[in-house]
Structure 1
Amino acid sequence: MGKGEQTKALIIHTARQVASEVGLDSLTIGDLAVRMGMSKSGLFGHFGSREELQREVMAATAQVFAETVVKPALKLPRGLVRLRAMFEGWLDYETSLPGGCLIAAAVFEFDSKPGMVRDAVFEHQRNWQGFLEKAAQLAVETGELPADTAIGELAFMLLGIVYSSYVYRGFEPADQVRRRIMRSFEHLLHHPPRQDKAD
């Protein structure tokens, strides 16, 4: 990397930390410049707009997520062991940033705010759901899930388990919330949604 690229990488790294604390929608070039001891114009020159900064933060976050959650799971055998590794890896990843999973939080922040940032957020969310669906489909092929498992619904419910747990994280111990999540996960694997025979 050249010096400019190194500086930009450091800015994005710091921005990820800040966004995890205050939210991606509250991330501003001015506040970030103060945090990094840079001039606002100097930092602005690396991105051009607040939205571009936010978009690149999302891209970097998705890359880290892929490296720390998805790729390790893909090295495991096909089936429930891989699906479980992805799910537990997601939970572990949430503790790597001060405010938890930045992508998941941004889904709530930008769901009603059209634009490039919302598009980036939901692209990464769809990609993650796709990985869960693929892992579940392979578990069907190995015979560990029933042949008539509704794959899309299963992935939807897995995402819902984690998102709904956010409600409890402010007033229940983290280990207790995680136990709730894993009990729900295991229950869902033993009782997966089935395809409607009319479909």
Structure 2
Amino acid sequence: MDDAEVAIDGRRARGDASRRMVLERAADLASVEGLDGLSIGRLATAAEVSKSGIATLFGSKQQLQLATIAAATERFTATVIVPARVHPRGLRRLTALLDSVVAYSQNRVFPGGCFFSAAAADFHAKSGPVRDALADQLEDWMDYLAISARFAAERGELPGLDDADQFAFEAQGIFEWMNLMAVIREHRSEPIYGRARTAYHARLLALGADPAIAALVLEPGAALRPVMA
């Protein structure tokens, strides 16, 4: 590799690092102030980067918003979905997902609570690519929850489950109310997270889950622990 190629690779690496840093700040900012209010100028101030630098990276407000959704999706996946994969598909993984998604809000992975709940409130009635991207991500998550529940049912671990999509719908409904009330009642949020865990536990028991496994969702982090041989 000659000196010119080294220089190009170095600039590319710095550009990628700068883009990641800006998008991290953008996702945090949007979770608090709203994705609709995320502009090149506002982000430049918050990230202490020039407007021209942000414009060079993203081109337009819409492209910035779409890139922020993609970055937020990566953070959500790394925080909620990947840790649950310590278990094979089935009830243990499903329980771990429910555990993780409560912790995702409780631990403020995004400072404003759930990035996607906040962004959906901004764009639910506005047509266009940004709303479509948000809808796609939310539907992907619901599908993943439903598929996870379906695997558990197929393994005989949720004998009462006859509609995995309905389960995912109800589970997400619990999450949305939990996240909303916990963000609003920031200094009194602990009981709210406990109620969400209790609701998930009751739903799993109603579907015939092993009580010992279902109970793991009641203790933060318990469902994520590897199964001892």
TM-score normalised by structure 1 residue count:
0.89
Q: Which residue of 2 aligns with 1:135?
A: 148
Deviation at 1:190, TM superposition (A): 2.2
Distance change >3 Å, CA 180–CA 148, structure 1 → 2: closer
Equivalent position to 2:42, from 31, 40, 43: 31
> Does 2:13 align with 1:2?
yes
Deviation at 1:102, TM superposition (A): 0.4
Q: Which residue of 1 aligns with 2:25?
A: 14
Equivalent position to 1:154, from 156, 167, 173: 167
> Does 2:80 align with 1:69?
yes
> Does 2:93 align with 1:82?
yes
- Paired residue type of 1:72: P
- Paired residue type of 2:115: L
Distance 1:161 1:143 in 2: 25
> Does 2:181 align with 1:168?
yes
List gaps (5 residues or longer) in structure 2: 1-11, 208-229
Q: Which residue of 2 aligns with 1:50?
A: 61
Distance change >3 Å, CA 34–CA 184, structure 1 → 2: same
For 1:97-134, what per-residue CA distance to the aligned partner results, in whole angstroms no more than 9, with x for missing partners?
A: 21111012222221111111111111111111111011
- Paired residue type of 2:39: T
Q: Which residue of 2 aligns with 1:183?
A: 198
Distance change >3 Å, CA 181–CA 148, structure 1 → 2: closer
| Comparing 116-125 and 142-151, the one that deviates more | 142-151
CA contact (8 A) 2:146 2:165 kept: yes
Deviation at 1:13, TM superposition (A): 1.1
Deviation at 1:81, TM superposition (A): 1.5
Partner-residue secondary structure (3-state), 2:29: helix
Q: Which has the higher contact order (CA 8 A, sep 6+)?
A: 2
What are the residue-to-residue correspondences of 1:108-119 with 2, within 5 Å?
A: 108-119=121-132
Distance 1:80 1:29 in 2: 44
Q: Which residue of 2 aligns with 1:106?
A: 119
Deviation at 1:65, TM superposition (A): 1.4
Aligned residues, how many? 192
- Paired residue type of 2:169: F
- Paired residue type of 1:142: R
Distance 2:188 2:194 in 1: 10
Deviation at 1:148, TM superposition (A): 4.8
Deviation at 1:74, TM superposition (A): 2.2
Q: Which residue of 2 aligns with 1:195?
A: none
Deviation at 1:160, TM superposition (A): 0.4
Distance change >3 Å, CA 15–CA 167, structure 1 → 2: closer
| Comparing 52-61 and 34-43, the one that deviates more | 34-43
Between the two proteins, what is the percent identity of the paired residues?
33
Distance 2:88 2:166 in 1: 23
TM-score normalised by structure 2 residue count:
0.78
Deviation at 1:163, TM superposition (A): 0.9
